[in-house]
Amino acid sequence: MEFVKCLGRPEEFYNLLRFQMGGIRKVIPKMDQDWLSVWVDICYLFVNGSTRYFKQIEIQSLAGCVGHAVCIFYLVLRALDTVEDDMTISVEKKVPMLHNFHSYLYEPDWRFMESKQKDRQVLEDFPTVISLEFRKLAEKYQTVIVDICRKMGFGMAEFLDKHVTSEREWDKYCHYVAGLVGIGLSRLFSASELEDSVVGEDTELANSMGLFLQKTNIIRDYLEDQQEGREFWPQEVWSRYVKKLSDFAKPENIDFAVQCLNELITNALHHIPDVITYLSRLRNQSVFNFCAVPQVMAIATLAACYNNQQVFKGVVKIRKGQAVTLMMDATNMPAVKAIIYQYMEEIYHRIPKSDPSSNKTRQIISTIRQQNLPTCQLISRSHYSPIYLSFVMLLAALSWQYLSTLSQVTEDYVQTGEH
C-alpha cells in the first residue's frame, strides 16, 4: 500500500491523500474540454489508455488549442513508435513505413491492421481518430508535427539494425526518440504564442530537455531492457567494465555494474544546466507545469538510481507519494531549483571515494550549484511531529478507503436491485 511507504514522510502522505481524494485539481485544474468534438474526446481516451496517469494530467493541464495539438502530436508519435517496436514487422517492410509515416497523416484511409503490439489500436484506428483530428489542426501546428514525425521516422530507421556504440551515438539516438519531441513541443508552445519565439527557436535547449528524460529512462530500465533483448547503454562506456552488457546482471560483477551506472548518471546530469535555463524562460503556467514535472521526476529517479545495486536486480521507482509531492511543488522556478538542490545534495553525499567517476560527478554538481540554486530545501508544510502527522493521516486514509468501499458496495447493491 502506497500510504504505508509514506508513514515516515508526512508531507508525502498528506499530498498522496489529497491526490487520491481529487485534491490534485486544486494544483493542476482539469482542462475545460467543452470545445472538444466527440473524436477529440476519443483522442484523449487513447492518451489515457497508452501512457501513465501522470502524463494524462500533464497533457490535460495544458490550456486551449495547444493542449489539443500536443495530444495529437503525442498520438502520432505513439503510432510511429508502435511501428518501430513491433518485432513481427520485417525490416524490409518497416523501413519504408518509418520513412513515409509522416505522409500517412494526409491519407484519409491509411491504417495498419497487422501489428501485434499492445498499442496497435492507434494504428488500427489511425484514419478515424488520429489523422482525422490532425487535419483539423491549424496549419502552424500541422507543420511542426509533420516535420518532427518525418525526422523521427528516419532516425528510428537508422537505428533499427544499429547498436549504440559511443556516447556521441547515445546522444544521437536519444535525439531521435526524445530530443525531437522536446523540439517539437517547444515549437508548438511558441506557435500558440503562449511562449516567446525563442523557446521554439533554441533547439539545443529543447533537445537537452528530451535527452535528459530519455537517458534517465534508459539508465533505470537496464534490467527490463535486458530481459526483452534490448540494449541502449553505450558500448564505449560499459565495455570498459565487462565484455558483454548482460554481464552486469551477474552478482560477481555488481561492483563494476554500479561504477558504470554512476558514470552514465554523471553523463545525464550534464543536461541539468540546460533544463534550468529552458524552464527559466517559460512564462505560461500550464506550459511550465507540463515541462517541469517530468524533469524533476527524472532528477528524483536518477538520485534513487545513483550507486544503487537494485538497478541490476529489480525495478527502481520513486514512491507515488514522492511523485505527487513533486507534481504539486514544481509549479514555479524557485521551487524547481529547490528540488534540484535537494537531489543534487543527496547524490553528492553518496559519491563513493573509490568510484572512477567521482571527480566528474562532483564537478558537474558544482556546476549545477552555481546556477543560483537555493541553499535550503523546500519549506515543510507542517510543524507538527512527523509521527503524530503520519498517525492522523493514516486514520484519514483508512477512513477514506472505508467510505469509498462502502459507497461502491452500496452502488452495486442498488444496481442489483434495479435489475
| CATH number of domain containing 121 | 1.10.600.10
pLDDT the model gives residue 318: 87
Largest Cα–Cα distance in the chain? Answer: 70
Specify whether 156 is located in the same domain as 243.
no
How much is the mean pLDDT over the chain? 83
Residue 337's domain comprises 215-374
pLDDT at 343: 96
Of 46, 104, 112, 290, catalytic: 290
167 belongs to a structural domain:
no
Assigned domain for 288 exists: yes
In this structure, are 223 and 358 located in the same domain?
yes
Question: Residue 45 domain-assigned?
Answer: yes
pLDDT of residue 40: 42
**Confidence bin at 1 (pLDDT 50/70/90):** very low
Report whether pLDDT(408) > 70.
Answer: no
pLDDT at 393: 53
Do 228 and 156 fall within a single domain? Answer: no
Q: What is the predicted pLDDT for the residue at 154? A: 97
Q: What is the DSSP string of 72-134?
A: HHHHHHHHHHHHHH-TTS-HHHHHHHHHHGGGGGG-TT-------STTTHHHHTIIIIIHHHH
**Single-letter code of the amino acid located at 243:** K
Same domain, yes or no, for 153 and 271?
no
pLDDT digits (tens, 9 = 90+) for 131-171: 999 999 999 999 999 999 999 999 999 999 888 999 999 99
Number of structural domains (the chain) is: 2
Same domain for 220 and 105, yes or no, is no
Residue 9 domain flag: no
Annotated catalytic residue within 44, 74, 134, 173: 173
The answer to whether 28 touches 324, Cβ cutoff 8 Å, is: no
Q: Is residue 384 flagged as an active site residue?
A: no
Q: How confident is the model at residue 410, as a pLDDT?
A: 44
Distance in angstroms (rounded) separating the CA atoms of residues 39 and 45 = 10
Output DSSP code: residue 243.
S
Instruction: For residues 227 and 149, state if they share a domain.
Output: no
Domain boundary pick from 141, 162, 183: 162
Grid coordinates standing for 49?
A: 489508455
Q: pLDDT tens, 14-36?
A: 555 555 555 545 444 444 333 33
In a domain, 182, yes or no: no
Q: Cα torsion for 98, 100, 102, 106, to the nearest 10°?
A: -140
> What's the angle, vertex CA 52, arms to CA 87 and CA 183, rounded to 5?
75
pLDDT score of 335 more than 50: yes
Helix then strand then coil, % of the chain, to nearest 5: 70, 0, 30
255 and 352 in a single domain? The answer is yes
Q: What per-residue confidence (pLDDT) applies to 119?
A: 85
**pLDDT score for 407:** 53
Q: How many residues does the chain have?
A: 419
Over residues 365-381, mean pLDDT: 71
Q: Is the pLDDT of residue 117 over 70?
A: yes
Same domain, 122 and 245: no
DSSP state at residue 379: P
The mean per-residue pLDDT over the stretch 189-194 comes to 96
- Spatial distance between the Cα atoms of 301 and 394, rounded to a whole number of angstroms: 26
Same domain as 157, residue 63 = yes
Please confirm, yes or no, whether 173 is among the known catalytic residues: yes
pLDDT at 42: 41
Residue 287 has pLDDT above 80, yes or no: yes
142 and 221 together in one domain: no
* Residue 399 domain flag: no
Question: Pick the catalytic residue: 25, 52, 168, 230?
Answer: 230
Q: pLDDT higher for 56 or 155?
A: 155
Considering 2-11, 181-190, 289-298, 315-324, the range whose residues carry the highest mean pLDDT is 181-190
Q: Note whether 172 and 162 are within 8 A (CB).
A: no
- 283-297, 311-325, 389-403: range with highest mean pLDDT: 283-297
87 burial via Cβ count (<10 Å: 0-12, 13-18, 19+): exposed
Residue 29 is classified by DSSP as P
Same domain, 256 and 318: yes
Q: Are residues 246 and 140 in the same domain?
A: no
With 70 as the cut, is the pLDDT of residue 63 above it?
no
Residue among 407, 363, 190 at smallest CA distance from 282? 190
Q: Answer yes or no: is 263 within a domain.
A: yes
